[in-house]
Amino acid sequence: MTLSRSARWLLRGAMALGLAFIYLPLAIVLGNSFNADRTFAWPPVRWTTEWWVRAWDNAGAREALWTSVKAGLGATAIALLLGSLVAFAVQRYRFFGRGTVSLLVVLPIALPGIVTGIALDTAFRSVLAPLGIGKGLFSVIVGHATFCVVVVYNNVLARLGRLGGNLQEASADLGADGWQTFRYVTFPVLRSALLASALLAFGLSFDEIIVTTFTAGPGVQTLPIWIFSNLFRPNQAPVINVVAAVLIVASVVPIYLAQRISDTASGGRL
Amino acid sequence: MLGRSADAAGADTARGPVRRLSAWLHRHAGVRLAALLAAPLFWLVVAYLGALAVLFVSALWTVNGFTGEVVRQPTLVNFRTIAADEVYRTVALRSVGVAAAVTVIDTLIALPMAFYMAKVARPRYRRWLVVAILTPLWASYLVKAYAWRVLLANGGPVDWLLGGPGSGPGYGLTATVLVLAYLWLPYMILPVYAGLERLPDSLLEASADLGARAGRTFRKVVLPVIVPSLIAGSIFTFSLSLGDYITVQIVGGKTQLIGNLVYANIGAANNLPFAAALATIPVLIMVVYLVAVRRSGALEEL
């Protein structure tokens, strides 16, 4: 479009302001993690690395991090399996209720988290409790997997759609059985889609707090739950701030990986 | 040729059962489909839909105020309480208002940013701008809400910027809208950017050649094309704001939204049926919204 010079400058200014709006709060958390003042009086007068040392030694934070990693890995594994299965079924077959299946997969993430949370809590109470299985890490993994399925489903479905049927037919014509076709033709094409969706699913699970609140058993604390429960304790503030700073810095890792995996920059739609 | 078929024959005897199973499966498409769908459908229909159904049915139950036991007799008393009590109407309207305000703010911020990214920035910078918008999505939700708690604290950076303690908005309704708009902004920018990227530059040039100024081109050419993207973004910003109760606790001061009431009724009040009845409000609003925008093609943009 033939925009006037001033219009271009206005748009450039809007972009710069928008980016500042997005990044300044995060930068201030990073800066505050070195602020020697306990209450984060602004502007900082003295600097320290004491909070980083204390956060490193904090057993609660470490344990919560480990719980989060376990929950994320478990949920990702289940979501990869279930999401791929549904994607194959919807892509390859025409069956009654096909449209409903896609809607069903999207539902857990489309409804407010609190609704999914209460629903799963009710299910655990009425189904698992009579069997003698209490809520624990397992129920967190089940809850997270439920809303992670959609990520895998979307990615795999899109990739299968682009793949088309020709390669499979060629493979069958050359004498491969179904398993060989999957092992040597379909899976290699899907691999990057699976990696990208695994990354997204893990990210979703790692960041989730609402569903976790309702599905975690007593004593099971993921990192977000740990942060939230310590957020309102003034003497924990510096340690929380360091953990927050670490998470901000760590968010570069999945972006880097997504860029490596996918050819486009759309590595993370959700 | 000979060697190849001998190889295949060898593989056949070694992997006989696998090959036979795979041939049998090839002939029975129904069995294949059932094998694919059994586990996921069991999970989603039995575990999730079943739980949702129980939840909505339980909205019709009540809790015995004396024993705290759930009385499983269908009645509309929960919904009547919600309709009659002024508090619930106020909170419901406030929640919708907050969600709408967040959506409008995000649209206003996202439009110029997405337009710059898709049409003004040089192509080789575009990828990096998208990365710059995507990266904060990976920073934890809680961390971002926490960042604003620090920013808006009494005597914090915002107060300092505006000239001394107490001069900023502090914690409250304004802070809630601001922080929710901050949290969901990328969800609006990305679909709008994707929509604008699909809009050919030639259309904009044609419009300019035909004498339209920038404003008219925007209204008559750009806007109609990106309406589905805007709606897709608004589904995120609206629905995510409507269900939120964590941000409100962090920066909202005493402000209450529907989510807080639902949460309070599960926890402290231990009244799951009433919580379920309250939770149907955001679900109904979202379902109405989704049905209303389905025809615009926005759902394919998600």
Contact B176, B252 (CB under 8 A): yes
Mutate to test the interface with A, among B58, B135, B180, B193 (most CBs of A within 10 A): B135
Residue A42 maps to a domain: no
ipTM: 0.83
- Rounded alpha-carbon distances, angstroms, from residue B174 to A238, B101, B152: 26, 10, 11
Contact B156, B77 (CB under 8 A): no
Contact A93, A162 (CB under 8 A): no
Contact B288, B220 (CB under 8 A): no
Buried b (16+ CB within 10 A) or exposed e, A198-230: bbbbbbbbbbbbbbbbbbbeeebbbbbbbbbeb
Q: At what angle do helices B29-41 and A59-92 cross, to 10 degrees?
A: 150
Residue A76 maps to a domain: yes
Residue A247 maps to a domain: no
What is the C-alpha radius of gyration for chain B, rounded to an integer number of angstroms? Answer: 27
Q: How many other C-beta atoms lie within 10 A of the C-beta of residue A13?
A: 12
Residue A41, min C-alpha distance to chain B (Å): 6
Residue A99, pLDDT score? 75
Rounded CA-CA distance B118/B127 in Å is 10
Mutate to test the interface with A, among B113, B125, B162 (most CBs of A within 10 A): B113
Residue A141 maps to a domain: yes
Q: What is the CATH number of the domain that holds A210?
A: 1.10.3720.10
Q: How many domains does chain A have?
A: 1
Residue A73, pLDDT score? 97
Domain boundaries, chain B: 16-71, 82-301
Residue A245 maps to a domain: no
What is the C-alpha radius of gyration for chain A, rounded to an integer number of angstroms? Answer: 23
Residue A239 maps to a domain: no
Residues in chain B with pLDDT < 50? 1-12
Mutate to test the interface with A, among B96, B143, B151, B280 (most CBs of A within 10 A): B143
Q: What pTM was estimated for this model as a whole?
A: 0.84
Taking chain A (270 residues) in runs of 10, the rounded mean pLDDT of each run is 79 94 92 81 78 86 93 96 91 81 80 84 76 83 91 88 81 84 86 89 91 88 92 86 90 84 48
Residue B79, min C-alpha distance to chain A (Å): 17
Residue B4, pLDDT score? 45
Phi, psi for residue A3 in degrees, rounded to 5: -90, 145
Residue A28 maps to a domain: no
Residue B126, min C-alpha distance to chain A (Å): 9
A137-170 pLDDT, tens digit each: 888 999 999 989 988 998 898 888 888 778 888 8
Fold of the domain spanning B82-301: MetI-like fold (1.10.3720)
- Rounded alpha-carbon distances, angstroms, from residue A67 to A138, A167, A199, A240: 11, 42, 17, 17
Chain B residues touching residue A83 (CB < 8 angstroms): 40
Helices (H) and strands (E) in chain B, counts: 16, 2
Residue A87, min C-alpha distance to chain B (Å): 9
Chain A residues touching residue B19 (CB < 8 angstroms): 177
Chain B residues touching residue A211 (CB < 8 angstroms): none
B201-252 pLDDT, tens digit each: 888 888 888 988 888 888 888 888 899 899 989 988 998 898 889 999 999 9
Residue B1, pLDDT score? 38
Residue in the structure block whose two tokens are 């339209």: B212
Residue A27 maps to a domain: no
Residue A82, pLDDT score? 93
Q: A267–B117: do the CB atoms touch at under 8 Å?
A: no
